[in-house]
Amino acid sequence: MNENDLIEIKNLRVSFPLDEGTVQALDGIDLSIPKGKVIGIVGESGCGKSITARSILQIIPPPGKIDQGEILLRTKLGSMNDDEHIIDLAKLKPDSDLLRQIRWGEISMVFQEPMTSFSAYHSLGDQIMEALLMHKDVSKEEARQAAIEMLDRVGIPNAAVRLNQFPHEFSGGMRQRAMIGMALICNPSMLIADEPTTSLDVTIQAQMLDLMKDLRRDFGSSIMFITHNLGVIAQIADEVSIMYLGKIVEQGTTMDIFHDQKHPYTSSLVEAIPKISDARKKRLTTIRGSVPSPFERPSGCPFHNRCPKMMPGVCDVKVPTPIDFGNGHKAACLLYE
Ligand SMILES: Nc1ncnc2c1ncn2[C@@H]1O[C@H](COP(=O)(O)OP(=O)(O)O)[C@@H](O)[C@H]1O
Ligand SMILES: [Mg+2]
């Protein structure tokens, strides 16, 4: 594991055995998350973004399971002498004490819908304080002060009063802010944001992205930012991984992905980003075809049946392996083999 990496995922395979057949949700994922960097994970719905994130914390919905692979985390938690060591999260039991400490304490996750994180029956302040009391050695009064400071930090006015209110008394945008505050209260090494801005209007989206960038700077946390919207990624990510049908088909710096992309799927996503000049056009560009059913994985390259550059007899037969274009830029496409 590279010493700058907080997490390294190696050949991760996750499947859902269902009555209708087995869904291969993740088909061999390799991904590194460097310390203090924002990593964007992009792809159409159903390609495995959420399952990648949920695997890290071992909160995969049943009957999904990790079949193979490693999820290495560099942490001080669980170490005898308080030194950093490397543990394989994939080997821990989902209900183990260590994994419980790691969730929120070391890696926290925010979801699209804040009510996934909050209970309707307790004040927002109690819930944020609870997260802190569970993971850190602080008194109730210290937890309260920290919660007020955090709400203030994420831009919730009048924090001391709002702390006593219930989640439904907050607007959608304010709830999102509070959720990010709760996710950061234990000062985690990594924040996973799973499509956190999709349901918000554009102004609030921009504010949320600014907020996350500030927090990354102030707390030095790594951020894994998941979205189906490549446009949002340009504003926040240092590096981007493009996913398709349970595989990473291209990864590189944000610059590589936007200006020197190699995989035709990445090109299609970039072309589908709405541009100001499109306002005059009648329709937005969309990617032709749709993601195949999870029960019918295409042979060869998973993207071949939608690919504008598909080479018959090659792409429908051979499974592409990632080609290295230098400086961490990789793409799995037979055009380059
Ligand atoms: N609870 C579940 N039961 C069965 N299959 C699931 C479940 N959750 C996800 N999957 C399957 O795993 C694949 C990846 O899903 P997911 O990671 O949620 O996609 P994304 O977040 O990129 O939209 C999909 O093919 C989906 O059908
Ligand atoms: Mg998802």
CA pair distance 325, 323, nearest whole angstrom: 6
CATH H-level, domain 5-96+230-336: superfamily: P-loop containing nucleotide triphosphate hydrolases (3.40.50.300)
Tens-digit pLDDT profile for residues 292-319: 888 888 999 999 999 999 999 999 999 9
For residue 292, give the 3-state DSSP assignment.
coil
Ligand 1 atom at minimum distance from 52 CA? 17
Q: First and final CA of the chain: distance in angstroms? A: 27
% of residues, the chain, pLDDT over 90: 68
The residue type at 67 = D
The residue type at 217 = R
Would the pLDDT of 276 be above 70? Answer: no
As a whole number, the mean pLDDT across the chain is 91
Percentage helix, strand, coil, to 5, in the chain?
A: 35, 25, 40
Q: Where are the domains of the chain?
A: 5-96+230-336
* 16 CB within 6 A, ligand 1: yes
**Which pLDDT score is estimated for 199?**
66
Is residue 327 left, alpha or beta, with left meaning phi > 0 and alpha meaning psi from -120 to 50? Answer: left
Question: Do the beta carbons of residue 310 and residue 304 sit within 8 Å?
Answer: yes
CA dihedral 40, 41, 42, 44 (to 10 degrees): -160
Question: Do the beta carbons of residue 23 and residue 295 sit within 8 Å?
Answer: yes
Neighbours of ion ligand 2 (CB under 5 A): 49-50
Phi, psi of 182 (to 5 degrees): -65, -40
**Which pLDDT score is estimated for 285?**
61
Tens-digit pLDDT profile for residues 55-93: 999 999 999 999 999 999 999 998 888 899 999 999 999
Nearest CA among 331, 290, 332, 333 for reference residue 311: 333
* 45 CB within 6 A, ligand 1: yes
124 confidence band (pLDDT: 50, 70, 90): very high
Tell me, in angstroms, the distance from the centre of ligand 1 to residue 295's CA.
12
For residue 328, give the 3-state DSSP assignment.
coil
